[in-house]
Structure 1
């Protein structure tokens, strides 16, 4: 039997991959769409459109009514001031929850895409558990954590919730890691000085699969990632191999990273980079305990870093982005 999904953020990077995955699996896809959005992926799969934004509780109620699952992906990742983060990540999430609560009939499940930034960097160098006190280091992380609290505390009407915390997401269509590919192609590989960053990563198609699986997984909070800890040097080497270069490793002092983030923030952020993203970059490790991951990304199915970087680079080259 066909299932219906309402997706916020459907025209974004992760959203586009989720739209395609659900459509391939026979779902009817509804997308909350603002004016001026790039709707090519929605057109490709024949998705239904609900005109509105995260400020429009009525549109959210309309889109959620009769849907099996609401996937809330839309968020602000970089902004000049706190108010923009709060409006999208907290107030917008509250509107999604209120629209879901008011839907007739109500959805069975709300899937909320959160971030490792909500729980904060690894605790004393070890993966942070879901049940440990969060320690976000940025306004983005704090507001995503507040969004989690809204979902957990205000969702009603028999709708259950699955919250997914994702590390850095990469893959075809990603603009966040693109500047680094371009730098490596120019034989430059900057990184903060000091201990080498250790991080989880997740390929976008794996995250889309995890989101889809979360529609039927037990309710709860799930960190999702390729279950491998990657030193930043491994990521640089994988990118360099695809770009065919041997980049010079540039060690940037923390003060320089912070200054660059501050300057970028004056101009609204360069890509998703600003002062607070600089603080996130300076954390020594972004690792979470992946207990429960098998319910969303079955063992042996996560895309290895080298393959994911290869597919990302190939897409960038085909599009003329690098």
Structure 2
């Protein structure tokens, strides 16, 4: 494994994963170039003195500038969400990725780490599923289908064009500076509108963002990672109830008790989503198939391949990771405890 300083081009650098990847790269003494849109909030990047490449995922010239003279590329950018058309997700998650891969090939980049998702697997209960199980050809929602296609495209460039690609598949990502998932969950907890689908004891395939970044760097450094995919989680059993209950406790809120029977939740997800699509609804309904997958299914995936090939050992346990993640949302006393 290489310990010499590298130049790393990071996409999605103003987002949760990309921002933490940039922070870790700088802490390790690497030079970072970050792809940023004109409308992006770049205050953190400016504070860190990061070189900014102005453009977006569909700007071939900006991608070429970012890739030029770069040792590694971390593709942390993606259109995410549980609602939208497949064409919308494909445009940014697949076709734009093709431009980035072309830029990487032209620049002879030494390692391309693509951040995918455990959502590429079939939308069913999983009990220790590993990488020998192929991704689902027809996913429940447009986002995960586009991620499946993106993975295939990146690995095709590895096989056919010699680009040293490694793919990491994180589960549900949480962490500091999250602007989406934890704030939305907290809003629902405060309003008393959150409900479990079934018992809430089903596994949640979660990963603390700093554990994910640790895995990204291992995938960049290991010669055995090229052409491979790796499941990444926190590596310990975390149920939906444990996750949500921890968030509620750290926020000083009562733990939710409402439950929707699993069969009813599945039926409602199908009916409500179907009606919303018929009406051409632009925003996600309160329940849909993707949310049923997240809250209703048992999502347990093996990370043994990452442990064996990469030497992946999550640096943070779930309790520490969620406390750190919640410090900015928690009451003053919990904030002090999280800071240690």
Inter-CA distance 259–312: structure 2 relative to 1 (3 Å threshold): farther
Q: Within 2, Cα distance between the matches of 1:274 and 1:101?
A: 42
Inter-CA distance 177–263: structure 2 relative to 1 (3 Å threshold): farther
SS of the aligned residue for 1:316 comes to coil
How far the C-alpha of 1:154 sits from its partner, in A, is: 2.1
> 113, 135, 142: which is aligned to 1:111?
113
- Report the TM-score when normalising by structure 1: 0.87
Q: Within 1, Cα distance between the matches of 2:203 and 2:155?
A: 30
Report Cα offsets for 1:84-108 as digits up to 9, x if no partner: 10001110111111111122xx110
Match of 2:338 in 1: none
Query: Structure 1: which 5+ residue stretches go unaligned?
Result: none
**Equivalent pair of 1:109/1:215 in contact (CA under 8 Å):** yes
For this pair of structures, how many residues does the alignment match? 314
Inter-CA distance 24–282: structure 2 relative to 1 (3 Å threshold): closer
The equivalences for 1:1-322 within 5 A come to 1-78=4-81, 79-103=83-107, 106-121=108-123, 125-135=126-136, 136-155=139-158, 158-174=162-178, 175-185=180-190, 189-193=194-198, 196-217=201-222, 218=224, 219=226, 220-252=228-260, 253-254=264-265, 255-257=267-269, 266-269=281-284, 275-281=288-294, 283-294=296-307, 296=310, 298-299=312-313, 301-317=314-330
Inter-CA distance 188–239: structure 2 relative to 1 (3 Å threshold): farther
How far the C-alpha of 1:185 sits from its partner, in A, is: 4.3
Report Cα offsets for 1:209-263 as digits up to 9, x if no partner: 2212221122211111111122212113212321233334111331445567676
Q: Within 2, Cα distance between the matches of 1:259 and 1:170?
A: 30
Q: Within 2, Cα distance between the matches of 1:142 and 1:133?
A: 13
Inter-CA distance 2–139: structure 2 relative to 1 (3 Å threshold): same
Q: Within 1, Cα distance between the matches of 2:254 and 2:37?
A: 43
Q: Within 2, Cα distance between the matches of 1:195 and 1:237?
A: 10
How far the C-alpha of 1:277 sits from its partner, in A, is: 2.5
Q: Within 1, Cα distance between the matches of 2:300 and 2:211?
A: 17
Inter-CA distance 109–173: structure 2 relative to 1 (3 Å threshold): same
Query: Structure 2: which 5+ residue stretches go unaligned?
Result: 336-340
**Equivalent pair of 2:251/2:330 in contact (CA under 8 Å):** no
Q: CA RMSD in A?
A: 2.7
Report Cα offsets for 1:186-226 as digits up to 9, x if no partner: 55641113674312211111112221222112221111111
